[in-house]
Structure 1
Amino acid sequence: MQIFENQGHKIIQADCIEALQTQICDNSVDLIFADPPYNIGKDFNGLADKWETEESYLEWCYEWLDLCIAKLKNNGSMYVMTATQFMPFFDIYLRKKVSIISRIVWYYDSSGVQAKNKYGSLYEPILFCVKDEKNYTFNSEAILVEAKTGSKRKLIDYRKNPPQPYNTEKVAGNVWEFPRVRYRMPEYENHPTQKPMALLERIIKASSNENDLVLDPFSGTFTTCAVAQMLNRHSVGIEIQEEYVKIGLRRLGLQNEYQGEKLLKELKSYEKPSNELALKLFEPNGTSIYGNH
């Protein structure tokens, strides 16, 4: 286990269950966003996202879910994701321990053919849970979206006296449309299941306040922590993979180097100079035409 910490932000490189058991105090966290491996065979930098049985996957999930609930403050909130086929098990398990306030659908379009013999998968489910349904943070004014009835259709509500135009804004509903993070997007990092910053921004704005503590037990590219930092929250990110920890250290500005390696964002293929250009930059003897620097 390694711990990196600076200015209210902490990265714990460890197994999530070990870190939750030993490094996070009970009743200390305001908001948890948990996006675990889905048990669908993704390759996380050589670590397989596949358990021997569905039962063993669920047993593991129930263990970290119980730990997350223990870490939440009494007025805290938790957002949980998993694959569509496992979310019913999560729902049934969690409703006995916390209050499920909303069942959210994150919808995204697909850039290509998803399936030919079934309906393609175009959404991921999210559970919004709280410990106390009468006492939790929900900043509705921070997550207003366009109300098309009022803003585009300009309809009048004649039930009111006097009649009034419909509102042009409303609180976001439980179907969220955000594009998935794609290779050419500026926020892209080298990770197979990176979540968009816009999705985390809505969650963190709605369910926490400035200086609150946000926890992500499966941090991946550390988007949760990066958005928390941007919104003046504190954060703790847990991640077992060293390569992803280095992304977090860079994104949060906790370190410029890691074990002698400069932490720089890897150039994408279209950002790298072509072979032809590279050859022009060097003389036949291999010396740069710009001299030695």
Structure 2
Amino acid sequence: MTLELNTLYNSDCIEGMEKLEDKSIDMILCDLPYGTTNCKWDEIIPFDQLWEQYKRIIKDNGAIVLTASQPFTTKLISSNMSWFRYEWIWKKGRHTTGFQNAKRMPLKNHENICVFYKKLPTYNPQGIIPLVKVRKSSRRKGGDLLGKGLTKEYTTTHTNYPRSILDYSRDKKTFHPTQKPLTLFEYLIKTYTNRGDLVLDNCMGSCTTALAADNTKRKWIGFELEQEYCNKGIERINTNREQLGLSQASVRTINDLLEGGYENDSTNHTR
């Protein structure tokens, strides 16, 4: 089964991803449930099922970029150590939590962004500045302590390469309790994909990934189980798409595709 692009599916994410073709996704960008609240939508997705689908649908050189916060971060990384590569730190501007425990531990104003991949993915470092004069340097590879080893010449053509801390304040208008900044997700999408690539968010929530993909000229597919967030999310998506001069996106279900009944039923779906 082929799912439609630029479409939000009101579906369980595992069931939805099972319908995606092998190695069809250029990037997975997702704000997974952390399991830190008692909310139904915050239940941790079983890692074995999650990685079974992620590994199947991501291209060999695709990046899987997942937001996290301790203790969920440790659980997430441990669930696939062989693919984990590094993390970014999202500094939430001035937003700070943990005041109830301020006498016991430091206040918190960051989350983790974990990067997984099988093979080196697209990497477009953002904000780099070309050097007026190219710099060359020689460095030893191995055997430095003994003064031995091969010498390799490096050429530096740019400066201002990204560092691991990304400082982005939360968006002022939000409707989802864990909504991430639009500019942060635009940054990540531009870093790990090129124009025209396909981005998957299997837990759409506020649908920030869809907006970020539209704004950066990427394609997207999303899954969201909660009907309330589908309704609010598609409205947000289409308001943004209208401003960009793009056609309206739709909310669909997997059953719509199986039954072929979507075109004749406009009452149960938001166009």
Deviation at 1:190, TM superposition (A): 1.1
Aligned counterparts of 1:189 and 1:71: Cα–Cα separation in 2: 30
Q: Aligned partners of 1:86 and 1:260: how far apart in 2?
A: 36
Check the 8 A contact 2:200/2:220 in 1, yes or no.
yes
Question: Which residue does 2:30 correspond to in 1?
Answer: 34
How far is the alpha carbon of 1:252 from its aligned partner? 2.8
What does residue range 269-284 of structure 1 map to in structure 2 within 5 Å? Answer: none
Q: Residues 249 and 208 (structure 1 numbering): CA distance in 2 closer, same or farther, change over 3 Å?
A: same
> Could you tell me how far 1:82 is from its partner in structure 2?
2.2
Q: Which residue of 2 aligns with 1:269?
A: none
Unpaired segments ≥5 residues, structure 2: 138-155, 239-247, 252-265
User: How far apart, CA to CA, are the structure 2 residues paired with 1:241 and 1:4?
Assistant: 19
Shift of 1:262: 8.5
Task: Give the match for residue 66 of structure 2.
Answer: 80
Verify the 8 A CA contact 2:95 2:169 in the aligned structure 1. no
Matches within 5 A, 1:190-229: 190-229=175-214
Residue 85 of structure 2 corresponds to which residue in structure 1? 101
1:74-153 equivalence runs, <5 A? 74-96=60-82, 98=83, 100-111=84-95, 114-115=98-99, 116-117=102-103, 118-133=105-120, 136-140=121-125, 143-144=126-127
Map 1:50-89 to 2 at 5 A. Answer: 50=43, 57=44, 60-89=46-75
**Aligned counterpart, 1:16:** 13
**Cα deviations by residue, 1:200-226 (Å, 9 ceiling, x for unpaired):** 111110111111100000101111111
Pick from 208, 213, 234 the counterpart of residue 249 of structure 1.
234
The farther-off stretch of 205-214 and 104-113 is 104-113
- TM value normalised by structure 2: 0.72
Q: Distance in 2 between matches of 1:204 and 1:16?
A: 20
Q: What is the deviation of 1:113?
A: 6.4
User: Match of 1:144, SS?
Assistant: coil
SS in 1 for 2:60: strand
Residue deviations 1:216-256 (CA, integer Å, cap 9, x gap) = 00101111111101111110011011121123322332369
Q: Which has the higher contact order (CA 8 A, sep 6+)?
A: 2
Following superposition, the deviation at residue 261 of structure 1 comes to: 9.6
Cα deviation for residue 170 of structure 1 reads: 1.2
Q: Which amino acid letter does the alignment assign opposite residue 56 of structure 2?
A: A
Residues 239-286 of structure 1 show CA distances to partners (whole Å, capped at 9, x for unaligned) of 0111211233223323699848989xxxxxxxxxxxxxxxxxxxxxxx
Secondary structure at 1:251 match in 2: helix
CA 1:112/1:212 → structure 2, altered by over 3 Å: closer, same or farther?
A: closer
Q: Paired residues, what number?
A: 225
> In the alignment, residue 193 of structure 2 is paired with which amino acid?
S
**Distance in 1 (alpha carbons) for counterparts of 2:159 and 2:191:** 16
Aligned to 1:153: none
- Deviation at residue 49 of structure 1 after TM alignment: 2.4
SS at match of 1:229: helix
Q: Is 1:41–1:48's contact at 8 Å kept on the other side of the alignment?
A: no
Structure 1 residue 65: deviation in Å? 2.7
How far residue 106 of structure 1 moved from its aligned partner, in angstroms, is 0.7
- Give the TM-score normalised by the residue count of structure 1: 0.67
Q: Is the 8 Å Cα contact of residues 75 and 130 (structure 1) preserved in structure 2?
A: yes
